[in-house]
Structure 1
Amino acid sequence: MGKKKQAKANVKRLPKTKCCVSKKRCDRCPLRMLKEGTLPEGYTVKKRELVRVDGKKVTKKKLAKAA
């Protein structure tokens, strides 16, 4: 049981593709991750949506590779 908890702690959290606009900001909020500096390289947030800096489309598969 202890091994599973350790494995979960080491996993990077992927940001959501769109902010859910909650007041307290969820753990995966792209706005919060941008402010903390934990957003993957090459990604930013515009109009509460996760976008790539180079202008290409954001996909979960590419996002997982970047993180």
Structure 2
Amino acid sequence: MGKGKKNVPKIECCVSKSRCKRCPIRMLKDGTLPEGYTVKRRKLVRLDGKKVKKKKLEKVAA
């Protein structure tokens, strides 16, 4: 990743004991998850109920 680019969260948590930097659960806890997103049942979801798409997620995280 580039120097100025933020981490883009994964769509689903990989359930590793030591959470990776892109884990949505870790990002939610640290407060680095993009606005309008949250985590439910280890999956990244949007607050407005729409489907999470990688392209949109990359734009929001950048």
The residue aligned with 2:47 is 53
2:56 aligned to which of 31, 51, 62: 62
1:21 aligned to which of 15, 21, 36: 15
Identify the structure with bigger relative contact order (alpha carbons < 8 Å, sequence gap 6+).
2
- For 1:18 and 1:33, locate their aligned partners in 2 and report how far apart those are by CA, in whole Å: 12
**1:66, distance to aligned residue in structure 2 (A):** 1.1
For the pair shown, the structure with the greater C-alpha radius of gyration is 1
Paired letter, 1:26? C
- For 2:29 and 2:3, locate their aligned partners in 1 and report how far apart those are by CA, in whole Å: 21
Identical-residue share of aligned pairs (%): 69
Aligned residue pairs total: 61
* Larger proportion of helix: 1
Structure 2: runs of 5 or more not aligned = none
Structure 1: runs of 5 or more not aligned = 1-6
TM-score, normalised by the number of residues in structure 1: 0.86
